[in-house]
Amino acid sequence: MRSRRTRLLSTSVIPFVVFMGVAVGGMDATGPLAGSPVYAACNPCAVANPCSPCAAANPCNPCAVANPCSPCAASNPCNPCAAGGGGASLACAVPRLQAAARCNPCAVTKSCSPCNPCAAANPCNPCAAANPCNPCGAANPCNPCAAANPCNPCAAAACNPCSPCGAAGAIELTDAEATEVYDCLLKEMQAAYAKSDNEVALGYTAWRRFSKRAYPSATHGNRHVQNYANEAAKSYGAYEEAGPMPDGAKLAKDSFSVMADGSVSVGPLFIMEKMPADWNPDSGDWRYTMIMPDGSVFGATKGKGAAKVEFCVGCHIAVASETDSLMLVPGEYRVK
């Protein structure tokens, strides 16, 4: 026969107690879904939440703005702080992902979820003092906050596939979703790029588009992109058979990011312009320009801020040396 105290500490009671504490503590949360009991309960920032990663005294505070490992990063698919999205676009979103985000793994009501880090009964609970993997234990060699830990999942190295800090993986959209989001965002994208006063940014959407829909591009930060080419670059549509582009060929790739919570945000506009022969052999005579959504023009090959687009040159030459530095639209998304 178990004692009353043992029963109180049992796994069936603790989650309820934690839930109530967190829910009450989360009541002062603000934001569009602050009134939602699910989001309030999930709020790891709730004052009453004993596991609050926001606790000032917590040396591993993942919510610190300067922390590159912050799980509050909107691009982090595990973002426990996402309480209703908040991407740049207020008009466009992916409803399917928004619905999925409501299944927040921190929902204490889902105490049976093995992924729930807030459930007291969860053996993986990172807040459990006795948990050998407790990431908050300063002396814990597995402490993900330990700077010297080579397995540190917070290591900024983007190549670490397990790194929660690495670039978020591509989020797959269906054809219909990709088309709907792109059509919805197009005006926002045009308005954003127009701030640059760049000639290509002002007119690229009048060019021919060579992608059937926006598709995820691993070489462009897993953003969804579309490919446009001007009249001089019409041979781009021959893809592998296109051969070197002529002087005057211009290509533009607009982009948007999709967050795990379904929100979307305008990304940069990537431009390649073919210049006269021997203009700059190091870049294959291509001038690369990157235009940010705020209208900043980040570098142009051989122009102001050229160093800032060096990584574009290096990447295109490395990945597409056989195709005049052109990264081609993946087969399934090509316009024939």
Report the nearest approach of other proteins to the CB of residue 13 (Å).
33
Cα separation, 254 vs 233, in Å, equals 17
Which of residues 62 and 137 has its CB atom nearest to other proteins in the complex? 62
Which of residues 248 and 314 has its CB atom nearest to other proteins in the complex? 314
Cα separation, 208 vs 224, in Å, equals 18
Which of residues 81 and 300 has its CB atom nearest to other proteins in the complex? 81
- Contact yes or no for 252/202 (Cβ under 8 A): no
Report the nearest approach of other proteins to the CB of residue 221 (Å).
3
* 301 class by beta-carbon count within 10 Å (0-12 exposed, 13-18 middle, 19+ buried): buried
Report the nearest approach of other proteins to the CB of residue 37 (Å).
21
Report the nearest approach of other proteins to the CB of residue 18 (Å).
24
Which of residues 94 and 120 has its CB atom nearest to other proteins in the complex? 94
Direct distance between the N- and C-terminal alpha carbons of the chain, in angstroms, rounded to an integer: 74
Cα separation, 166 vs 160, in Å, equals 7
**Which tokens hold the place of 55?**
């606790």
Helix (H) or strand (E) holding 192: helix 175-194
Report the nearest approach of other proteins to the CB of residue 128 (Å).
27
Cα separation, 253 vs 228, in Å, equals 6
Which of residues 243 and 303 has its CB atom nearest to other proteins in the complex? 303
299 Rama sector, left if φ>0, alpha if ψ -120 to 50, beta otherwise: left
Provide the 3-class DSSP secondary structure of residue 81.
coil
Q: Which positions touch other proteins (CB under 8 A)?
A: 65-70, 72-76, 81, 85-88, 156, 158, 165-168, 194-197, 220-223, 257, 259, 263, 265-266, 268, 290, 292-296, 298, 307-308, 310-312
Report the nearest approach of other proteins to the CB of residue 106 (Å).
15
Which of residues 111 and 196 has its CB atom nearest to other proteins in the complex? 196
